[in-house]
Structure 1
Amino acid sequence: MTIDLKTIKHISKLSRISVDEAKAEKLAGDLNSIFKFIEKLNELKTDNVEPLTSVAETTLRLRGDEVKSENIKEEIIKNSPKENKDFFVVPKVVE
């Protein structure tokens, strides 16, 4: 697939980005080199290759669920803009 100046100008018009002639030529060359690289990647035989989530084959370390702070409800509630002993009250945002 190759990109010509007409296609670059059409894309710039659709995206409402002004591109002058010099930038359009450079952009066409850059996009064409990207598409050539993609075509090379498509030639690779990946039939027996399983997909990876990472190149480093590691597993996440699990940690136990531990309660680090107990009974801090009063400390949290006193930061509320309005006084209330059960809930954190904030100004109304949606009407």
Structure 2
Amino acid sequence: MRDRFPDGRLYVNLHGFDHDRQPLEPGEALELLLRSVGLAASEIPSRAEAQGRVFRTLLADRQLLILLANAASAEQVRAPNSLGHASRKPLRQVDPPGAGTA
């Protein structure tokens, strides 16, 4: 996988099915991604729209895999995705562990 994504891999647990905390808001997820690529908290804009622009700018020429895991809904993934996603490949839904089993 390293050869397909030479600039790294980012992972964010969206906490969609955690029982001890609320799911991450889209802005929280984007802030975590910005911190993951090296920005200090003081360098991260407060508005999600501006965060998205910074994220796209920082990743414009990079080949990264970004995994947003444990989403409570498709909407939870679409919001940060619309701010920073650069791939032309569609996202596919992955059911949580144990879904569909009796």
Give the TM-score normalised by structure 1: 0.26
Task: Name which one, 1 or 2, has greater alpha-carbon Rg.
Answer: 1
Give the TM-score normalised by structure 2: 0.24
